[in-house]
Amino acid sequence: MSSLKAAESGFSRLRLPVGGDAEIELWRQSPLKVSGIGDMMPVVVAGGFGKRMNHGAGLALYLAGNGFDVYRYDTLDHVGLSSGCMLDFTMTRGLLSMRTVVDWVSRETGSKVHVVAGSLSARMAYRLLAESDVVANLITIVGVVNLGATLARVLGHDYAAESHESLPEVMTVEGHEVRARPFWVDVHENKWLGKEPCRDELLRSHQPVTAILAKDDLWVDQGEVRDVLTAQSRRQLGIVSLGGAVHDLGRNMVAARNLYITVCSAAMGFEGRTATEPEEPSFQMVVAQSLYETRMQRAGIAGN
């Protein structure tokens, strides 16, 4: 099978209605090989803030190459192909997107779901973990547990401590503009700030968690993550710190490869395949998949 055919094989696009005229764009990559152990749970991948689905091409290919059925989506009111504008992004809207996709995948497959969530989406996933019976386990990638502290580090200013009236019209987060006041209202009213709500949510959940950290991450404090995750003895908890890595693991090809292997190993471990090493696609296949998905993303944007 050539790399181009592998990239196109089993790839499909769907649109999920959310309410009104809003829709979530969902990409599915079906398994590229038979796992050999029967049906496995599907994987839902939620990208980090400012990331589109095509940014997760390599991870999806690694997972599909090891027998997983992989689903990705663009969050509502975010960059990407789903409905809405980035200016209107809120954490609660992001959680709605995640819950909608996870519930749909579970209904369609008749299975519980592995969830892989990066950065800011991980904070949403910790809440979903406490609220959803269909999330079997969670794998976080440089996952945020203290939203206020992370935003203060990213922005260089603690807007959460400001009064509503003193906020600027917009705040720029990683090059993306978000309306500050609606975001401020959402994080305060729905208790997204601080690490205590995240810890409480984890205390209410029972599912296994694997947290993948970046050793040189300046935005997510490893000590806070460990403190939140180990607040209660969990049935299955894994914390992996990748050396030589910053918050955006995709910037470094070696770190990205280590990340893909670690995520696959964690997901396979949850399926009872602890003695199996993940199979890796060729570099050419990853490049072909990335190019193919970038074209799909651009074509989708042009068509909107």
Question: Which position among 83, 247, 248, 265 bears the catalytic label?
Answer: 247
Question: Which position among 119, 132, 205, 265 bears the catalytic label?
Answer: 119
The verdict on whether 111 is a catalytic residue reads no
The verdict on whether 206 is a catalytic residue reads no
Q: Label each residue of the chain as H, E or C.
A: CCHHHHHHCCEEEEEEEEECCEEEEEEEECCCCCCCCCCCCCEEEECCCCCCHHHHHHHHHHHHHCCCCEEEECCCCCCCCCCCCHHHCCHHHHHHHHHHHHHHHHHHHCCCEEEEEECHHHHHHHHHHHHCCCEEEEEEECCCCCHHHHHHHHHCCCHHHCCHHHCCCEEEECCEEEEHHHHHHHHHHCCCCCCHHHHHHHHHCCCCEEEEEECCCCCCCHHHHHHHHCCCCCCCEEEEEECCCCCCHHHCHHHHHHHHHHHHHHHHHHCCCCCCCCCCCCHHHHHHHHHHHHHHHHHHHHHC
The verdict on whether 247 is a catalytic residue reads yes
Question: Which position among 217, 221, 248, 265 bears the catalytic label?
Answer: 217
Mind telling me the catalytic residues?
Answer: 119, 217, 247
